[in-house]
Chains A and B, each alone.
Chain A
C-alpha cells in the first residue's frame, strides 16, 4: 500500500470482485431452486378431464386433480334450494376471495351463489381451508341425520372432523368455523355437455 491512488484502485477491485462474485452466486441459486419447482411432466399432468354424468343425483365422488382430492357433487333440486336463506351465517357468501376463479368463469351472481358453472355440478377442492383435512359430506338439513355434530340450524353441507369447520351445500364456510375461506374452487371448463377439463 504505497499511496492514495493505489488504495482506491485496490478498493475498487475488491468491490468489483465482490459484487461480481455476489452476482455469480445469486445466479447460481436460480437453477438449484428452479429444479425444485414442479417439473415439465408434472405440470403437463396438471389438468384432469372428468365425465360429470358418472355422478348420480345427490351423490358425491372424490377425484384427483394435481394430486389433490376434489369433490364433484351432483346436487338435486332439493339441495340447490338449500343454498338460499342463510347468507347471514356465511363469512363470504358471494365468494369474492378468489380472483383467479372469478376471472376464469365466476362472472354472474348466480355462479357466485352456486359456486359452479352448471348449478347442479359443484366441483371444489376437498381440502378444508383450515388445515387440509377432508370434510364429511352431510347434505341434508337439520340434525336428523347427523346428531349434534352439526348445529341446530344446519343448512346442509360439509363438516370437517378435524377441527369442526362447517360449510354449506355450496361449500361456503359458516361463521364460527376455524376455517378462514370457502372450500377452494379452481378454473375449469366444459369441453362438452358433460365433460369438464379441470385446471
Chain B
C-alpha cells in the first residue's frame, strides 16, 4: 500500500519539495531493526501513543477547565466546579476526563516498562548513552507534568500534594525559599499557584513532544538494541521497520487500547489508585486528609524521601535517586550488554525491579516503623544497585555470547 502511494504523482510532487521519499525510506521501509526484538520493545511506540492521547484529551479538556481557586458555594472552587461540569454537563466530558486521568497512570506504566526493558537488556550502554540520557530527561519532564496536572482539580490530594512537594524545595539551603516562592507565587499554595501550574501543565507536554522527537532521532542514529545485546549486522540479522514492526506495534497498540479502554469505561478510579478518593473532597487549606500519599507512580521516590531523618538529606537523596539515572551508562563498565549473559547483573536488576515495587508500596502506605525500616532497606539497595555496578564486571563471569542473533 505504502509503495503504491509513493509511486503516485501527488507524492512525487511533494517529494521534490520535501525529500519525503528519502525520509520514509530511511525511517521506515529501509530502516533496519534487529529481527529478534521481543514484545518488551513495544512499549516505546505505546509511550508515544499515550503522549498523543494525553495531549489531545488535554487540549479538549482545557476548553472547559477553569484554573481559579476562587470559592464557590459549599466550600468548592471555580476549578473544582469546572471539572465537575466537564464530568456532568459537557458532552462526553466524562470520557475525556477519565481518558486523561487514566492516561496519566497508563503513561507511567508504559514508560516504567520501557525503562525496565532498557535496564535489563543494557540498552543504556554504548553507543546508546545519549539516547538513555534523553530518556531520563523525558521521565523528569513527565513527572513534572503529572505533578502540575494533579493540582488542577483542586481537590484535597491536589492541594496537599502540591503543598508537600513545594515544601520539599523549600528544604534546599540558600535557594530553597526562592524556588518555593517561584513555584507557589505566594506564601502558600493558592490561586497564583493554580494558574501557573495550569500554564506549565500545558507547556510541559509540548516540551515532551519536542524531546521525544530527539529521543527517536537519537534511536534512529544508533539503532535499536536487542535481547542478546549483540551488535547486529545489517541485512543478515535485521529486517526493515515497515512492515514488520509497524504491524507488530499495531498489535501492541490493540492490546494496550483494549486494556486502557476497559479501565476507562469500567473502573476509571482504579479503586483510588488512578484518581484518589480524597481528591473528590474539595481542597481545604485548614485540614490535611488523614492519610496523604502521592499518586502511585511517584510513591517510590516519596519513600526515599521519607527514609531519612533530616529533611534536607531526604530531599537531596530523592534528587540523587533520579540524578543517578543520568550517569548509569558510565557506571556500568561491562562489555556485555544484555542481562541474559550476565548472571550477577541479572539477579541485581531483578532485585532492583522488586525494590522499586517495594518502595512504591511503602510510599503509598501510612508510615509504620516496620514499613519505614523496609523502605530504608529498599532505599539502600536502590543506591547500592547503581554504586555496585562499576565493581561487578571485575568478578562477573559472563556467559559465552552467540555468534549472531
A contact residues vs B (CB 8 Å cutoff): 14, 17-18, 21, 30-32, 34-37, 39-42
Contact residues of B between 67 and 96, Cβ < 8 Å to A: 85, 88-93, 95-96
* A18 to B5 alpha-carbon distance, docked (Å): 15
Evaluate whether A41 and B91 lie within 8 angstroms (CB atoms) in the complex, with A32-B60, A35-B96 already known. no
A69 to chain B, nearest CB (A): 25
* A37 to B96 alpha-carbon distance, docked (Å): 14
B92 surroundings in chain A (CB, below 8 A): 30-32, 34-35
* B1–A34 touching, CB < 8 Å: no
* B90–A14 touching, CB < 8 Å: no
A40 to chain B, nearest CB (A): 4
Interface assignment of B109: CB less than 8 Å from any CB of chain A? no
A41 surroundings in chain B (CB, below 8 A): 85, 89
12 more CB-based (< 8 A) A-B contacts, given A35-B96, A39-B93, A41-B89 = A17-B250, A31-B91, A31-B96, A32-B56, A32-B60, A34-B91, A34-B92, A35-B60, A35-B92, A37-B91, A40-B90, A41-B85
* A39–B96 touching, CB < 8 Å: no
Closest CB pairs A-B (n = 10): A31-B92, A40-B89, A39-B89, A41-B89, A34-B91, A39-B90, A34-B92, A31-B95, A35-B92, A35-B91
A29 to chain B, nearest CB (A): 11
Interface size on B, residues (CB 8 A): 15
Contact residues of B between 1 and 29, Cβ < 8 Å to A: 1
Nearest B residue (CB) for A11: B1
B contact residues vs A (CB 8 Å cutoff): 1, 56, 60, 63-64, 85, 88-93, 95-96, 250
B1 surroundings in chain A (CB, below 8 A): 14, 18
Nearest A residue (CB) for B93: A35
B88 surroundings in chain A (CB, below 8 A): 40
Question: Can you identify 14 A-B contacts, CB atoms within 8 angstroms?
Answer: A17-B250, A18-B1, A31-B92, A32-B96, A34-B91, A35-B63, A35-B90, A35-B91, A37-B91, A39-B89, A39-B90, A40-B89, A40-B90, A40-B91
Dominant secondary structure of chain A at its interface with chain B:
helix
A40 surroundings in chain B (CB, below 8 A): 88-91
Nearest A residue (CB) for B57: A32
B300 to chain A, nearest CB (A): 33
B250 surroundings in chain A (CB, below 8 A): 17, 21
* A27 to B195 alpha-carbon distance, docked (Å): 34
A35 surroundings in chain B (CB, below 8 A): 60, 63-64, 90-93, 96
What's the count of A-B pairs with C-beta under 8 Å?
39
* A40 to B90 alpha-carbon distance, docked (Å): 6
Among A17, A34, A42, find the residue whose CB has the most chain B CB atoms closer than 10 A: A34
Nearest B residue (CB) for A38: B91
* A39–B85 touching, CB < 8 Å: yes
A37 surroundings in chain B (CB, below 8 A): 91
* A178 to B56 alpha-carbon distance, docked (Å): 41
A13 to chain B, nearest CB (A): 9
A133 to chain B, nearest CB (A): 27
B64 surroundings in chain A (CB, below 8 A): 35, 39
B95 surroundings in chain A (CB, below 8 A): 31
* A39 to B60 alpha-carbon distance, docked (Å): 13
Nearest B residue (CB) for A24: B257
A34 surroundings in chain B (CB, below 8 A): 91-92
A36 surroundings in chain B (CB, below 8 A): 60, 63
Among B56, B60, B64, B91, find the residue whose CB has the most chain A CB atoms closer than 10 A: B91
B60 surroundings in chain A (CB, below 8 A): 32, 35-36
Nearest B residue (CB) for A40: B89
Among A18, A31, A35, A39, find the residue whose CB has the most chain B CB atoms closer than 10 A: A35
* A42 to B86 alpha-carbon distance, docked (Å): 12
* A40 to B84 alpha-carbon distance, docked (Å): 12
B88 to chain A, nearest CB (A): 7
* A41 to B1 alpha-carbon distance, docked (Å): 47
A30 surroundings in chain B (CB, below 8 A): 92
* A37 to B92 alpha-carbon distance, docked (Å): 10
B153 to chain A, nearest CB (A): 17
* A31 to B56 alpha-carbon distance, docked (Å): 12
B54 to chain A, nearest CB (A): 14
* A35 to B58 alpha-carbon distance, docked (Å): 12
* A40 to B86 alpha-carbon distance, docked (Å): 10
A31 surroundings in chain B (CB, below 8 A): 91-92, 95-96
Nearest B residue (CB) for A17: B250
B93 surroundings in chain A (CB, below 8 A): 35, 39
* A42 to B93 alpha-carbon distance, docked (Å): 14
A9 to chain B, nearest CB (A): 14
* A39 to B96 alpha-carbon distance, docked (Å): 14
A73 to chain B, nearest CB (A): 35
Evaluate whether A39 and B56 lie within 8 angstroms (CB atoms) in the complex, with A14-B1, A31-B96 already known. no
B5 to chain A, nearest CB (A): 13
B96 surroundings in chain A (CB, below 8 A): 31-32, 35
